[in-house]
Structure 1
C-alpha cells in the first residue's frame, strides 16, 4: 500500500481531466492505496482550500491575479514547483503521479522526489499539435512536446492513455508503461432497444480545436433539406453557437437540436437514447495520441460510433460491427455515412449496439486495470 499524491491542472470530477484522475484514484483505492490530489489550477476550488470528495482530499494551492506571474509560470512553472515541493514535504507520499505536466517540471520533480525516496510516475493523455496552437497555447504545446521527448524517459512508470503513447514510450526505452484508456462508471448492462423513428446521432463535448463538428452539421442540414430524416443532438454547444457557426437562423428546421452545457447526468441520458454518436477529427498527432472520452463513454452506454479514421482510438471501431467509419472528414463523405445509418433496420442497429456495449465492457471496465496499476505505483513491475 502506498500514499499517493496526484498532481496536475485538474479539479473535481467535472471535466475530462478531473474525471480521468478521479477514476484512476478509485482503482488505486481498491488496492488499499491512499490518494490525495494537488490541484494547481481549477475553477470551483478556492486558493488554499482543502475539500473532501468521495473520501479523497483535494488540495487547491494557487491562483494568480497577476498576469505577469501567470506568464512566468507558463514559461517555467516556478510558482507551481514551489507549491509542489511544499505539499510533498507536508503529505510525505510514497509516490507522486504527475498529470500532463505542461511546464517542463518533470525533471525537477523527479530529482526532488528521488532524493527523498519517492518514486515518480506520469499520467499522459495529451500530445498537442504545435502548429495548430496559438499564443500561450503554443508555449504549452512546446513545453509538453519537449517534456515527452526529453524528460519522461526518466520516470519510474508511465500511465499511457492510448496505444500510440504506449508504442512511443516503449520505442524510447521506457519499461514500466501501463496502458489505461478512459475508465467509465456508466457501463450499461443491456442496450436501449431501437424503435423505428427518425434516427438520432449525438455529439457531446466541447469541439475547441479537436473535433470537426461543422462538416457533420452541414451534412445533417443538407441531408434534411427536403424533409428531416435524421436528428443531430448537440450537447455542449449552444443554439446561438450553432447559428453563428452555420450562419443559419433556425437549426431545428434542419434537424439540429443544441442543448448547450448541461449536467453530465442529463448528457448521459441523451447519449443513451441516440442511435449513434459522432466523432470526426483531423488526421494529426493530437488525435492519434489522445483517447476521446466521448468515444469510450458512447461504447460503454451501448451506442455505436460514427467516426473517421485517424489511426488513434478510432481503431477500436470496426465498420458495420460497433460503429460506422467515414471515408473522410468532408461533408459529402459524412452524408454518405448518414445514408447508411438511415438505411439500417431497427434490428441491425440493435446488433451494432450490442457489439458497441461488448467493446465498452471489455475495454473501459476499471476492474481489469486494478492489479497492474497497483503493481506500477508500488514498484512491483
Structure 2
C-alpha cells in the first residue's frame, strides 16, 4: 500500500530520547510494511543533527531527513512565555500546521503522540471531514506536579483530562504502551492495541559483564532522570549496607551526579561505597553501562504513572541481556517471571534481602537469568510481533 500515508505528530525529535526512540521505532515498523510516514514536530529544535533540506514551500516548515523519514519542523519564533503557554492550551498554531500539511500531502492517518489534549479536540471534526483516521499513541499518564513552571504543572492536568474525557469522543483507535493503558481503553470500549517499547535488531545487542575489580562483584546499573518518578535512596542504602565489610556490589548511575546524591541522600566518599554517579552522559555511554551490568534496577512508587508507563530502559537492558530488578507496582514488571527473567520484590523493604540472595548466587545462575531476560525481550519487544495488529489499526476507513 505505497499510497497509504501517515503523519506522526510529536513533541519530541530524533531518536535520542525515550520519546524519540518510541515514535521512530513505530515509524520504522510501518515503513517496512509499505507505509509512508512523516513526522510533524512541535519543537523548533526537534531535528537538530539531521540533514536540512530547506523549507517546504507549501507549509513554510523546515524539512529535515533522517534515515528515510522527513521531519517537518516549525521556524523558531520569539513568542514569549505567555504565547507559548497559550499555544500549549489551545494548539492553534500546531493545528494550522497540521491542516497545511494535510492539504499538501493528503495523509490517511494522523497519529498523535501523547498530545496534551487541545489538538485532539481541534482535529476531531476535521479528521471526520477529511476521512482521516485519528489515532493516539499513548505512553504516559502523568502524576500531578506541585513544582516547576506553570506549563509543567498544567501538562499532567491536561493529559489526565484528555485521557478521561476526550480520547473516547475524538480518537478512532489507541496504541497503548502498557498493559494498564490497554486495559483502561478496552474497558472504555475503544479500539486498542498493546505495543511496548520496540527494540530493533535486539538479537545483535549483547551484554558483556565488565570486571571492575580483581574480585567478583555484582554490577548494578540505573540510567535515567529520576525526578519524582524513580526511587534511588533505598538502593543507595542497600548497597552501602551490603558493602560495609567488602565490596560485593558496584552501582553505576547515569543521569545524575554526586551533587544529586548529596541532596537526596547524604555526603560521602561514594566510590568507597561502590556507588559511582556519572552525571548526564550520552545515550551511547548510558547503554554501555547497561551492557556491562548484571542487573538494571528500577524502583518506583506504586502509583498510576508507574503502571501506565513502560520504561524504555527496561526494554533496552533486557534486549541486551541485562536482567531487571523491580518493585511490584502492578505495572510492566508483571510481564516478568520472577526469579527466572529477573526479580520483582513486593516492597522496598525486601530489596536488601533480595540483593543478598543475588550476591550468593553462582555466576552460572546469574548468566542463566540474564539469558532468559534476553530471550523474553526477543518476543516482548520485537517489532515483528506487533506488525499485524498495528497494520489492522491503520487500515483505511
TM-score normalized by the length of structure 2: 0.89
What residue number does 1:41 align with? 43
Would the alpha carbon gap of residues 163 and 342 (structure 1) be closer, same or farther in structure 2, given more than 3 Å must change?
same
Query: Whole-Å Cα distance in 2 between the matches of residues 116 and 88 of structure 1?
Result: 9
Report the Cα offset of residue 377 of structure 1: 1.1
Show CA shifts across 1:245-288 (max 9, x none).
Answer: 32224211111112222222232222112111100000000011
Q: Which runs of 5+ in 2 are unaligned?
A: 49-59
State the alpha-carbon separation in 2 of the partners of residues 4 and 261 from structure 1: 34
2:9 is equivalent to residue 26 of structure 1: no
On the 8 A contact 2:327/2:344 being kept in 1, the answer is: yes
Equivalence map 1:7-156=2 (5 Å) = 7-41=9-43, 43-45=45-47, 48-61=61-74, 63-65=76-78, 66-130=80-144, 135-153=150-168, 154-156=170-172
- Alignment RMSD, CA only? 2.1
Which secondary structure state, in structure 2, belongs to the residue aligned with residue 278 of structure 1? strand
Does structure 2 retain, via aligned residues, the 8 Å contact 1:31–1:371?
Answer: no
Task: Please state how far the C-alpha of 1:348 moved relative to its aligned partner.
Answer: 0.9
What are the within-5 Å matches in structure 2 for residues 203-352 of structure 1? Answer: 203-329=222-348, 332-352=349-369
2:207–2:290 contact (8 Å) kept in structure 1:
no
User: Partners of 1:215 and 1:260 in 2: how far apart?
Assistant: 19
**Is the 1:188–1:302 Cα contact (8 Å) retained in structure 2?**
no
Matches of 1:312 and 1:132 in 2, distance apart? Answer: 24
The alpha-carbon deviation at position 186 of structure 1 amounts to: 5.4
- For residue 372 of structure 2, the aligned residue among 343, 355, 360 is 355
What corresponds to 2:53 in structure 1?
none
Residue aligning to 1:166: 182
Deviation at 1:133, TM superposition (A): 6.7
Preserved CA contact (<8 Å) 1:243 1:251:
no
Q: What TM-score comes out, normalization by structure 1 length? A: 0.93
Structure 1 residues 342, 103: closer, same or farther in 2, change over 3 A?
Answer: same
Q: Confirm or deny that 1:181 pairs with 2:183.
A: no
| 138-147 or 371-380, larger mean C-alpha shift | 371-380
Confirm or deny: 8 A CA contact 1:191 1:354 kept in the other structure: no
User: Matches of 2:230 and 2:92 in 1, distance apart?
Assistant: 33
Judge conservation of contact 1:104–1:144 (CA < 8 Å) in 2. Answer: no
Shift in CA distance, 222/186, structure 1 to aligned 2, threshold 3 Å = farther
SS at match of 2:263: helix
State how far apart, in whole Å, the 2-side matches of 1:156 and 1:181 are: 20
Structure 2 counterpart SS, 1:228 = coil
- Whether the aligned pair in 2 keeps the contact of 1:125 and 1:162 (CA below 8 Å) is yes
Gaps (5+ residues) in structure 1? none
- Tell me which stretches of 4 or more aligned residues in structure 1 moved more than 3 Å: 42-48, 62-65, 131-135, 188-196
- Decide whether aligned partners of structure 1 residues 81 and 164 sit closer, same or farther in structure 2, where only a CA change above 3 A counts: same
What whole-Å deviation, never above 9, does each CA across 1:172-198 have from its counterpart, x for those lacking one?
111x21111000125235865768711
Structure 1 SS opposite 2:202: coil
Q: Is the 8 A contact 2:295 2:324 kept in 1?
A: yes
Give yes or no for contact 2:208–2:292 (8 Å, CA) kept in 1.
Answer: no
Higher relative contact order (CA 8 A, sep 6+): 1
Return closer, same or farther for 1:186/1:281 CA change in 2, 3 Å cut-off. Answer: farther
Query: CA offsets, 1:219-257, max 9 Å, x none?
Result: 212222333210001112223333433222421111111
Q: Is the 8 A contact 1:104 1:146 kept in 2?
A: no
SS at match of 2:203: coil
Q: Is the 8 A contact 2:45 2:73 kept in 1?
A: no
Distance of aligned partners of 1:57 and 1:77 in 2 relative to their CA distance in 1, 3 Å threshold: same
Conservation of the 8 A alpha-carbon contact between 2:216 and 2:248: no
SS in 1 for 2:34: coil
